[in-house]
Structures are given as structure tokens and as C-alpha cells.
Amino acid sequence: MKKSVQFISFLFCMLIFTVACSNNENADSSSNKNEQLSNTTKYVELTISAAASLKNAMEVIQRTYQEEHPDTTLTFNFGSSGALQQQISQGAPVDLFFSAAEEKFDYLVEEGLINEEDGIDLLGNSLVLVIPKNESSINSFEDLTKSEIDSISIGTYETVPAGKYAKEALEKMGIWEEIESKIVFAKDVRQVLSYVETGNVDAGLVYKTDALNSDKVEIVASADPAIHGPIIYPIGIIKNTKHYEEAKKFYEYLQSDHALKVFEEYGFTIK
């Protein structure tokens, strides 16, 4: 009887040992499979510094691109081209730069931070005068000199390309000195648009693309392209990116028919 009990206990222990070993093997197998899958799928996050005026179009392109490339996450840093250029010059971890001004882009090329062969002039834009919806006190650039007009917003022209173009245009029109005291500077073109939308200023100079995407402002005049520098949007791959191949894929995607169609829908011209 005693031997029988010992034998049964022995069998029970062996059963527990076998089950434990089996579970460990399954766990190891599952772990190995997960590790193999992890090793075959490379997940990458790209950081794109882009002019604020590109925001609406780029967010549409972002959704489409990530659906087609689930292994790539696009993170955007929108702002004035001048501020973004300075960040990159100071070592900000960026993979691509999409500027609203050739000057800011060329500066990075000269610094050796973008190779010429990894850059292209992609888009164009135009400068317009906008006022709050349903206002009628301004119908032309000349109306900005009226005594009842108190405030006109443009981007800070040292860092915001749209502000630089606006100042150039107003100077060529011969009205800059007369209205300079009325100028309200903004950190980027989107802030100019916001000031006009909320009625905090009487008028503002923004890109046509921004104005077209707002139902709170009205375009009353367009600046002659001949009286300010050409509005060109170059894009390029940052030389020290850690994800060159993935950055190149997105760079090329932005030149595809699908992406260019999105840009056109948002009012940009294709170079």
C-alpha cells in the first residue's frame, strides 16, 4: 500500500514537471516569434519642419501616407520658415525641411545641412489682402492709408517669409511709411490670419492658400507678384537624418501626382 502511494506521487510529480516544461517551451516559442516579427518590421518616426501655411494640406497628406506606410509615423513641426531654419541650424533633430522661402532653405544648403541633390522647389503661392468677413471699409491696398484704419497685421519680416513679401509689396506701392505705425507683427502667417478672423485687426496680408481655407475672412486684393520676391516652397532632406531611406520615400511621395493634387486643392501652384 505504501509503495502504491509513493508510485502515484511520483507519477503526479512527473505530470507537473512535463506540463511546466511544455508551457516554458510554448512561451519561448512565442517570444522567439514575436522577436522575429519585431526584427523584420522597422518602425520609423520622421520629423518634418514645415511652413505654417502648409498645415492644412500636409495634414491630409499625412493621413494618406501613413495608411499606405503603417511602419512610418509623420510628426510635423509647423512654424515660420525663419524660426524653423534657425532650429535646424542649431541642431534640432529634423528629417525634412519644407520652407516657404528659398532664402531660408538656401541658408541650410550653404551650411552643408542639406545636399543640393536632396532638395527641390516644389510649390508656389501668392500674397493677398484680407479683412474680416462682412466688413466693407477696405477694398484695396490704398484703403489701408485711411485714417479710420487702425491696425494691419503682417508676419515679422525678419523671420516670416510672408511678412517679408508683404513689406516689400507695401514699399513698392509707396504706402509702407504711411502705414508702418499701424502694423501689428505676428509670429507666422497663421497668426496674422487669426488676428483678422477674430477682428483684432482691420486687415492682414497672408498667403492666398490660408485665406481660401477660412470662412471668416474675405480677400479684397491680390499683390502683384512683380512687386515682391517670388513665393517658392522648396523641400529637402536634412543631411544628418538617421532615417535617410524613409525620408527619401516621403520626399518623393510629396512629388507624386496624388500629393500635388492635394496641394492644388488647397490653392498652391506647382513649380
Specify the pLDDT at position 271. Answer: 92
Q: Span 226-254, mean pLDDT? A: 97
Q: Binding site residues for molybdate, as ranges?
A: 53, 81, 162, 189, 207
Helix (H), strand (E) counts: the chain: 10, 11
Question: Taking 80 as the threshold, does the pLDDT of residue 6 lie above it?
Answer: no
Span 109-135, pLDDT tens digits: 999 999 999 999 999 999 999 999 998
Span 77-91, pLDDT tens digits: 999 999 999 999 999
Specify the pLDDT at position 27. Answer: 44
Question: Taking 50 as the threshold, does the pLDDT of residue 97 lie above it?
Answer: yes
First-to-last alpha carbon distance for the chain, in angstroms, is: 96
Mean per-residue pLDDT of the chain: 89
Question: Taking 80 as the threshold, does the pLDDT of residue 2 lie above it?
Answer: no
Specify the pLDDT at position 42. Answer: 78
Q: What is the percent of the chain with per-residue pLDDT over 70, rounded to a whole number?
A: 85
Question: Taking 60 as the threshold, does the pLDDT of residue 20 lie above it?
Answer: no
Which residues have C-beta within 8 Å of that of residue 108, sequence separation ≥ 6?
85, 88, 89, 97, 114, 236, 238
CA 193 → CA 63, 142, 185, 189, distances in Å?
Answer: 25, 20, 12, 6
Note whether 228 and 103 are within 8 A (CB): no
Three-state DSSP at 255 gives coil
Question: Taking 50 as the threshold, does the pLDDT of residue 198 lie above it?
Answer: yes
Q: Span 6-27, mean pLDDT? A: 48
Instruction: Give the single-character DSSP code of 224.
Output: -
List domains and CATH numbers for the chain. Answer: 45-124+232-270 (3.40.190.10), 127-227 (3.40.190.10)
Note whether 202 and 138 are within 8 A (CB): yes
Question: Taking 70 as the threshold, does the pLDDT of residue 17 lie above it?
Answer: no
Note whether 222 and 128 are within 8 A (CB): yes
Q: Span 17-44, mean pLDDT? A: 52
Question: Taking 80 as the threshold, does the pLDDT of residue 183 lie above it?
Answer: yes
Specify the pLDDT at position 37. Answer: 37
Specify the pLDDT at position 40. Answer: 55
pLDDT band at residue 136, thresholds of 50, 70 and 90?
Answer: confident
Residue positions counted in the chain = 271
Q: Binding site residues, as ranges?
A: 53, 81, 162, 189, 207
CA 91 → CA 29, 108, 119, 233, distances in Å?
Answer: 43, 11, 19, 22
Specify the pLDDT at position 105. Answer: 98
Residue bearing the bigger pLDDT, 95 or 22: 95
pLDDT band at residue 41, thresholds of 50, 70 and 90?
Answer: low
Determine the Cα–Cα distance for residues 182 and 180; give it in Å rounded to an integer. Answer: 5
